[in-house]
Each structure stands twice: as structure tokens, then as C-alpha cells.
Structure 1
Amino acid sequence: MESPAPGEQILTTLLLEKFDQLTEALASIPPEQANSLLPVQGSNSPVQLMLHCCGMMRRWSSTVNLGVEVPRDRAAEFTAVMDKEAALQLASDARKSFVNDLALTAMHDAPIAAPPGRDSEYWMATCEGVLMHVLEELCQHLGHLEITRDVLNLPAC
């Protein structure tokens, strides 16, 4: 197999950096706050954000790009309660599987299993485009997790 093109290497590095930053942000939160919600409707706990990112990332990298289904309950990701260490282990496992998915991905090919209703999205033209969407989502949720962490750590007024 030939080496990935420089752009593909950059994308892979960015994806893994953002996921690692998510993991580091969760790791920095005290265990008793890992499942805490902010006092606003619809907020998500740090654990929920991590589980959602793991599910999202594998859905696109494996189920969509490679056609290898990874079971996922998206709604459950946003109601989950899990020990912080278990969430970090799940993240580690998801990262390893994601790296394997990336190694098998033909970046310039079309995804094998475009989800119904999403096949018209401009970024669905190639597997690389799908992974750019994953990067977009990881960046969004990293910011979300960092804000959640910061608010949870505010001193009481």
C-alpha cells in the first residue's frame, strides 16, 4: 500500500489530535463531575459528549466509509451515565478502531454506505470529505466539552 498523500496525513493528524484533546479534557475533570449537567435545558455531561464523539466518529469512519456496521444508539449517548474511567477506556478502544478504519479508507473513493437523506451533502462525495465532517464535529464537541468543564469548575457565588 502506498503512503498517504500529505493532505491525507494532515487530516489524519488533525482528527487524532482533536480526539486526544477531547480525551484529555475528560481526563482533567474530577470523577464526581464527569456525569454532571449544566443548569440549562438540553445540556450534556462530559461523559455524554465523549460517548457521542466515539459513536459519531466510528459511524462515519466504519459504517459509512467502509460499509462495516458499528452498532450505535445515538439517543442513548445523550442520556448515558458512566464512570469516568470506563468512558476513557471506551474512548481508547474507539480511537484504536478509528485508526484501523483510517488505514483501510480509500480517501478519494465515495463512501460505501451513505446514509439515506445525507447522500446529497457536498462532503459525502468522498471518504476524505466524510472525515472532514468528522473533524468538524470533533472540533464542535471539543469546544462544547471545554466550556462544560470550565463552567463546572467555576467557584460557587
Structure 2
Amino acid sequence: MLSYVLWPVPSSAAEGVGWPGRVYGPVMQDDIEGRVADATLVIIGESLSSMTDILRGLGDELANTTPDLPGANSPYAIVFHCVAVIEYWAGSVIAGLKIPRDRAAEFTAEGRVDDLITRVDDVRARLPEWVDIALREGIRDRRVMGTTRPELATATPEWVLTHLVRELSQHLGQLELTRDVVRRA
């Protein structure tokens, strides 16, 4: 079935403002799930690749260095937290797996870069199945513990996937800044 969806068109860079124009573009409605899955996996995959590149570039010592700033985390802890975020939201909430989580410990995690990259690779390999479950079945376990987010009670699968994209993008930026700080210390 071919439908038409309203898509925003960005203004030119020279104008420097918002989304003034809109056009109608064809969208295959029966392929929306596939396109959402592909977009989610590509964006999360790009974030994870950038994170592992940063960890490799830092090595064990700098990756485990916490900047001397209030509330700062080491690069290792940031990526460790991101893996736990994916395991929690995609593995436990969406797929219904009982993946243990100690959220508070994520922010002080330490270890070898190679071991953490293995965890990143493992979660990346499992993510396509979890995204497929989200889009085909929905959320399997809303009662799972491990978040401070009240939205879990009413979250849609699409909200969860978008939340993952946002969290990883946000933490990638945090990681990039943290890398720059620990390199200059």
C-alpha cells in the first residue's frame, strides 16, 4: 500500500532557520517497521563504533581516568553505562530477558578496554533481534526494575527505541568531551 506522508524539508544553510517548507513524499506503509529498525540499528551502531574507537584511542589508563570535575565519569564508565542501557531497555524491557543491572555501579565501573569492547560487540550483535521484537511484538516486560524513568509504565516500543538512540547520542557527546578533558589533564 502506497501512502503519502508529510515530511519536513530543512531550510537552506544560508537561511539559518528551522523547517519552513514541507513536501509530500511516498512511503511504503508495509515497510515502515523495516525502515525504523534499519534507522535505529544504523544510528546506534554508529554511536557504538565511535565509542569503541574512542576507547581504543585512549587505552586502559586514560579510559579509566575520571576528570577532576563534580559528577564526572571516566570514559570507561560512560561506555559501560551505555551497554547497560541497551541491555536494560532492549534486552530486559523489550525482549523480556532478566539481564541483571546495578545502575549505580555503572558510573564507577573500571576495567580493560578490550573487555568492554567485547561487551559492546556482544550487545550490538543482540540488538537486531531486540529491535525486531519491539516492532513486531511490543514490550514484553514493563515490571522490570532498573530505571529511574516513570515513562516505562506507558512507553511504546517506538518510544523505547527513540530513547535508546537519544541516550547513546547524548552519551557519545559526553564521551567525546570527557576524552578531550582526560587527554589534556
Q: TM-score range by the shorter chain?
A: 0.7 to 0.9
Range 134-143 or range 90-99, more displaced: 90-99
Mapping for residues 82-93 of structure 1, pairs under 5 Å:
82-93=111-122
* 2:15 match: none
* 2:100 match: 71
TM-score by length of 1: 0.84
What is the CA distance between 1:114 and its match in structure 2? Answer: 2.2
Candidates 122, 128, 137, aligned match of 1:99: 128
How large is the RMSD of aligned CA atoms in angstroms?
A: 2.1
In the alignment, is residue 135 of structure 1 matched against residue 165 of structure 2? yes
In the comparison of the two structures, how many residue pairs are matched? 150
Contact 1:108/1:128 (<8 A) preserved:
no
In the alignment, is residue 22 of structure 1 matched against residue 22 of structure 2? no
Higher Rg of the two aligned structures = 2
Query: What are structure 1's unaligned runs of at least 5 residues?
Result: none
Range 88-97 or range 49-58, more displaced: 88-97
Distance 2:180 2:136 in 1: 39
Distance 2:121 2:115 in 1: 10
Contact 1:34/1:45 (<8 A) preserved:
yes
Amino acid at match of 1:76: A
What fraction of aligned residue pairs are identical, expressed as a percent?
Answer: 30
Range 137-146 or range 127-136, more displaced: 127-136
Higher relative contact order (CA 8 A, sep 6+): 1
What is the CA distance between 1:90 and its match in structure 2? Answer: 1.8
What is the CA distance between 1:97 and its match in structure 2? Answer: 2.2
String of CA shifts for 1:2-50, please: whole Å, max 9, x gaps.
9753233222211211122112121211321111011112110011011
TM-score by length of 2: 0.72
